[in-house]
Structures are given as C-alpha cells and as structure tokens.
Amino acid sequence: MTLIRRLAVVWAITGFSLLLGVALLRLTARTLEGFTYPFSWLHWVVLLAFALFMAYSEGYRGFQLKFSPRFADRVAGLRQSGTPLQCLLAPFYAMGFFAAPRRVVITAWLLSVMIVCLVLLLKLVPQPWRGIADAGVVIGLGWGLIVSLWMTLDRLRRPHDFSPAAPRCPESAAP
C-alpha cells in the first residue's frame, strides 16, 4: 500500500466524520434549544415516536444495513487499489458519489438533494417541533457515524475477512 493510498483512507474517514460531526453539533444545538420551550404530552409522544422511527429507519436500516458496509468496503478498496482521483476525493468516493454502480450514485445524489431540501423546510418549522425533528435526526446520524466508523475500522483490520453483518459489496475494488 502506497503512502498516497494510506492518506486517502485517513482522508475518507476524516472527511466523512467531519461532515457528519459538524451536522451533529449544529443539530444538537437546535435540539437543545427546542427543550427550552414548554412540552405538552403530545410533544413528548411525538418526540419518542420520531426518535424511535429515526433510530430504526435512518440509524439501523439506512446506515447499519446499507450505507456503512458499503462505505467500509469502499474505504478498504481505496487502500488496495484507489486511483489518484478516488484518493483525492476519498470521502465522496467512499460515500458512493462517483465510481459506483449507477443505483448507488443516483441514491447518494438524490439523498443529498433531499436532505438539503428538508433542512431548508425545517427552518420554517417553529420550536419545539423543529427541536423534536432535529432530535430524531441526531439519533439517526449519531448511530450512523458510530456504526460507519466501527465497520470501517473492523474492515481495515481484517482486509480479507468479510463479516456476515457487512456483506461484500460488488462495486468495491478490494480483493
């Protein structure tokens, strides 16, 4: 493994972590702001329901079952055979924005556009509802960041061993 590829692995993990980490910090601040408003029983019920929904749909189904195993495989692929462009844009490569099957690329771009639209729409929602929505997103993103880092580090420690929890992704270049 060349030095460039090692740096690309670090860049992929760091760039992804910073992207999610900054979002988590900003959303956590807005979530906490929402808790400064008085909550009725309805607010608490919606908060609990949405938090559980986001943990399951975004954290478990979105990240743990789909995104994180692919991310881990693509980071490991960078280490084995990353091209100069893939190494330069390592976080975006690992997240599937390019050099992936068409379905993965389309999904990455569509989800990004949808997230930007939802962020803009949520700015119009008053507190405490905005804080409730942000709390669910914080749970999902936090789960996603943790499981993605765990799977990636696990995948990098055992480059030729594939866990059933992180099936081999067909688009990965690693042997």
Burial of 82 (0-12, 13-18, 19+ CB in 10 A): buried
DSSP reduced 3-state for 89: coil
Rounded Cα gap, residues 3 and 79, in angstroms: 9
The pair of structure tokens assigned to 35 is 């808790």
Select from 67, 79, 77, 73 the least CA-distant residue to 10.
Answer: 79
5-14 confidence digits (pLDDT tens) = 899 999 999 9
Rounded Cα gap, residues 172 and 28, in angstroms: 34
Tell me 2's DSSP state: -
The pair of structure tokens assigned to 61 is 């189904």
Give Cα 123 distance to the centre of its chain. 22
134-174 confidence digits (pLDDT tens) = 999 999 999 999 999 999 999 999 866 543 333 344 444 44
CB atoms within 10 A of CB 112: 12
The pair of structure tokens assigned to 138 is 């914080």
**Angle ∠(133,134,140) on CA atoms, nearest 5:** 100
What is each CA distance from 173 to 36, 103, 168, 169, in whole angstroms? Answer: 49, 17, 10, 9
Does residue 94 contact residue 17 with C-beta atoms inside 8 Å?
no
Q: CA torsion sign, 173 to 88 to 83 to 81?
A: negative
Q: What is the pTM of this model?
A: 0.84
Does residue 115 contact residue 23 with C-beta atoms inside 8 Å?
no
pLDDT given for residue 160 in this prediction: 61
CB atoms within 10 A of CB 26: 13
Judge whether residue 111 has pLDDT over 80.
yes
25-81 confidence digits (pLDDT tens) = 999 999 999 999 999 999 999 999 999 999 999 999 999 999 999 999 999 999 888
Query: What single letter denotes the amino acid at residue 98?
Result: F
pLDDT given for residue 2 in this prediction: 84
